[in-house]
């Protein structure tokens, strides 16, 4: 698995694409499906909004590389937790908006990440899953804090796509991670809002899609 980690570092830093995987998120049926996922209550409301939707100034969420470990045709699920999943639980929640700060219902979010040991499942769908925003443009991901692997700070990959829109590929980061300053593709604008300390933290991030 050390080889797999090296591949992603090489890809991120040098654009080297070692395998056949092709981004196919656009192939997922985007038919305005609403996930109907309830958002958590007070814990989420206490968080400040992320700055990405800037009052309609037209700035979309920054794009980032997908890296070599995306797998298409993921299961539809809001929780990546399975029986025996190791790691610290975390919830990532927020909205998908357009650049006019209007919520987008039925937007696709396809998440993938390393497990708590810093390992990607390149054979199956562990720590992979897609969901759609509800009628209010909200999403909610239940997962664990992704583990670290050499060359990268802690991160979650995601493809976000409005119905019939283009895919925006990016990554989410965590605040106060020692590795953030060492990671050449880390972007402060992609850091989730998160309480400084909580047993089961809720992180917040709003995605803004162009157009």
Dig out the tokens for 93 from the structure: 């929640």
CA–CA dist 114, 70 (Å, integer) = 11
Q: Computed from CA positions of residues 151, 79, 139, 38, in that sequence, does the dihedral angle turn out positive or negative? A: negative
Torsion angle of C-alpha atoms 106, 108, 127, 173, degrees rounded to 10? -110
From 14-22, 48-56, 62-70, 87-95, span contacting Fe ion (CB under 5 A): 62-70
Length of the chain, in residues: 211
Residues 139-178 touching Fe ion, rule: CB under 5 A, are none
CA–CA dist 75, 128 (Å, integer) = 7
Closest residue by beta carbon to Fe ion: 67
Q: Which is nearer to Fe ion, 9 or 97 (CB)?
A: 9
CA–CA dist 191, 39 (Å, integer) = 20
From 65-73, 76-84, 88-96, 180-188, span contacting Fe ion (CB under 5 A): 65-73
Pick from 167, 152, 58: which is nearest to 110 by CA? 167
Pick from 70, 67, 63: which is nearest to 16 by CA? 67
Dig out the tokens for 60 from the structure: 């979309």
From 18-26, 64-72, 98-106, 201-209, span contacting Fe ion (CB under 5 A): 64-72
Q: Which is nearer to Fe ion, 154 or 162 (CB)?
A: 154
CA–CA dist 183, 202 (Å, integer) = 24
Q: Which is nearer to Fe ion, 99 or 143 (CB)?
A: 143
Residues 171-210 touching Fe ion, rule: CB under 5 A, are none
Q: Which is nearer to Fe ion, 67 or 137 (CB)?
A: 67
Q: Which residue has the tokens 């443009």?
A: 137
Q: Which is nearer to Fe ion, 67 or 106 (CB)?
A: 67
Q: Which is nearer to Fe ion, 127 or 202 (CB)?
A: 127
Which residues would be at the binding site for Fe ion (CB under 5 A)?
67
């Amino acid at each position: 698995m050390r080889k797999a980690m090296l591949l992603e570092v090489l890809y991120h830093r040098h654009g080297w694409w070692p395998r056949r995987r092709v981004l196919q998120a656009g192939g997922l049926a985007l038919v305005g499906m609403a996930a109907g996922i309830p958002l958590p209550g007070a814990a989420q409301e206490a968080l400040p909004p992320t700055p990405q939707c800037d009052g309609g100034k037209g700035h979309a969420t920054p794009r980032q590389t997908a890296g070599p470990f995306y797998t298409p045709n993921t299961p539809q699920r809001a929780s990546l937790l399975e029986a025996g999943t190791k790691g610290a639980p975390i919830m990532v929640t927020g909205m998908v908006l357009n650049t006019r700060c209007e919520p987008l219902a039925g937007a696709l979010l396809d998440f993938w990440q390393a497990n708590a040991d810093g390992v990607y499942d390149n054979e199956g769908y562990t720590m992979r899953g897609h969901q759609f925003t509800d009628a209010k443009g909200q999403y909610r991901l239940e997962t664990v804090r992704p583990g670290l692997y050499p060359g990268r700070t802690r991160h979650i990959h995601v493809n976000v796509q409005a119905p019939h829109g283009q895919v925006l590929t990016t990554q989410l980061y965590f605040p106060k991670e020692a590795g953030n300053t060492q990671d050449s593709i880390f972007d402060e604008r992609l850091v989730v809002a998160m309480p400084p300390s909580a047993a089961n933290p809720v992180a917040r991030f709003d995605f803004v899609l162009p157009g």
